[in-house]
Amino acid sequence: MIHLTSLDLSMAALLIVLLALISLAMELGLAKKIIIAGARTTVQLLLVGLVLRFLFDNVNAGVLILTALFMLFVAGREVVARQKRRFTGIWGLGIGTFSMFLSSFTIAIMALTVIINAEPWYEPRYAIPLLGMLLGNTMSGIAIGLDRLTTAAWEHRAIIEARLMLGQRADDAISRIRRDCIQNGLIPIINVMSVAGIVSLPGMMTGQILSGTPPIEAVKYQILILFLIAGGTGLGTVSAVWLGSRRLFDDRQRLRLDRLRKS
């Protein structure tokens, strides 16, 4: 494997500086955000590298579980941050976090114990990257689905309430919106699978090939990961949108938009 030096990374960082300068010249107002994002990427990934080295050298189920729960909490906070209109109270964090736990953790454990059959199942070299990819992609699907759900409910509140007055149950009054939200949450992963290997080489496969893994073996792992991500994204988005749609109504079948607040 060809090792990268600090000089190599500095040359790549010039592209970020160039992008910030373009933002300044075009008055896009993104220069500061670009520089901060680049700095955060560097610091965060270096810290992750140190943490992973520690985990790889000290295989321990307890430490792995604590790391996984921390990743889940951060992902849940990110889902909340992406909402234009979020649920109030613990529900704002709870719906997305619970849905990711239900989908990503279940699928990750199934993959580690049944498909990959890692020994032990909490081997960090497999568990952390797998869970990270599942959480990252599931998070995106859930964030899109919930954001679309709360925004659509607010914008079409008159239609939903009219359906309720005509005798429809809450589940029926919001069924079309809920279906559209789930579709929106699944579109990104469907697009990724549709063009994988033709338009783009997925990141994991590219990384394995660059590190010396035989191409066919890298392809098999990438197919596995994409299928796991699709399953996790689907289950997570469906459960989050379903829970969110239930939260929008009370026990008397009334639309409760006071349970939402603008970010």
Task: Name the packing angle between helices 31-57 and 124-155 (round to 10°).
Answer: 140
Residue closest to 150 by CA, chosen among 75, 91, 74: 91
**Cβ atoms 61, 128 nearer than 8 A:** no
Q: Classify 193 in phi/psi space as left (phi over 0), alpha (psi -120 to 50) or beta.
A: alpha
Indicate the pLDDT class of residue 99, thresholds 50, 70 and 90: very high
Average pLDDT over residues 97-108: 91
The identity of residue 88, as a single letter, is T
- Percentage of the chain surpassing pLDDT 70? 97
Helix (H, G, I), strand (E, B) or coil at 196: strand
What is the band of 88 on the pLDDT scale with cuts at 50, 70, 90?
confident
59 or 35, which is more confident? Answer: 35
What DSSP character marks residue 255? B
Higher pLDDT, 94 or 198: 94
Structure tokens at 251: 């026990």
Least confident range of 51-55, 97-101, 150-154: 51-55
Copy the structure tokens of residue 234: 């689907």
Helix (H, G, I), strand (E, B) or coil at 252: coil
Instruction: Please indicate whether residue 182 or residue 207 has the higher confidence score (pLDDT).
Output: 182
**What pLDDT is stored for residue 1 in this prediction?**
64
Quick check: 51 pLDDT over 90?
A: no
How far is Cα 81 from Cα 100, in angstroms, rounded to an integer?
15
Question: With pLDDT > 90 as the criterion, what percentage of the chain qualifies?
Answer: 42
Q: Hey, where are the domains in the chain?
A: 1-57, 59-262
Task: Give per-residue pLDDT as tens, 129-156.
Answer: 889 889 988 999 999 999 999 999 999 9
Q: For residue 239, count other CB atoms closer than 10 A to its CB.
A: 20
pLDDT given at position 263: 67
pLDDT at position 255: 92
